Amino acid sequence: MADATNRLAKVTASDQPRAFAVVGEAVWWVTIVDSTLVRYHAEAYDLVLSRVSDIKLIEETLAGFRFVRNQIGQGVDHADFIYPTPGQSDGAVDHVGDWIWSRQPEPACASLSAQGRAWEMARYLAYEARLAGHTVGQTFSDAAGFLIAAADLARGGAPGRLSDQARAARRGR
């Protein structure tokens, strides 16, 4: 997951097919690591979450990534979710981490059960609150930093201490 999210700062807008692939891979890895930690290391996950200054930010960011994963899995194109940053006035290279998550229409949930509709709408609202309008790099940095810290604790690390890898993810590297 850390390798996938670190690639966001390296791929440029000039290579759009690769940029979309890198974002899709990062979404997949973040959601897989999140679900694995919740399922198999709930105590470490909850302890690290309890020490986060903005728990709602982390929970909604991760839910937003689940929305993206589910929509892409149903055939929505990656290009519908992100777009390059409008012109860099300082001549800086535009990396995919600088791209912006786009607003999305409310998902069609008519065929889902009431519980399924509520689940999907909660993830959609989280996407709109925490991803849409924000940079790709920052949203992944928030999620990856938290997940790496939880994984470190699950492997026997000290609670509340971020590894070098978790600190790098939080800085957006």
Q: Which two tokens stand for residue 16?
A: 């759009």
Other CB atoms closer than 10 Å to residue 52's CB: what's the count? 16
| H or E element, residue 82 | strand 82-83
Asked if the model's pLDDT at residue 24 lies above 90, the reply is: yes
Question: Can you tell me the mean pLDDT for 37-54?
Answer: 95
pLDDT of the residue at 163 = 52
pLDDT for the residue 16: 87
Provide mean pLDDT across the span 66-70: 95
Q: What is the pLDDT of residue 134?
A: 97
Q: Tell which residue, 94, 100, 64, has the closest CA to residue 81.
A: 100
Alpha carbon 27 to its chain centroid, in Å, reads: 6
Question: Is residue 5 within 8 Å of residue 29, measured between CB atoms?
Answer: yes
Q: What percent of the chain has pLDDT over 90?
A: 68
Rounded mean pLDDT of the chain?
87
pLDDT value, residue 173: 38
More confidently predicted of 110 and 41:
41
For residue 151, the one-letter residue type is A
Contact call for residues 95 and 8 (beta carbons, < 8 A): yes
Tell if the pTM clears 0.75, that is, is over it: yes
Q: What is the pairing mode between strands 100-101 and 82-83?
A: antiparallel
pLDDT of residue 48: 95
- The one-letter code for the residue type at 85 is T
pLDDT at 172: 46
CB contact at 8 A, 1 and 29: yes
- Residues 119-126, mean pLDDT to the nearest whole number: 97
For 3, the 3-state DSSP assignment is helix
Residue 12's SS3 state is: strand
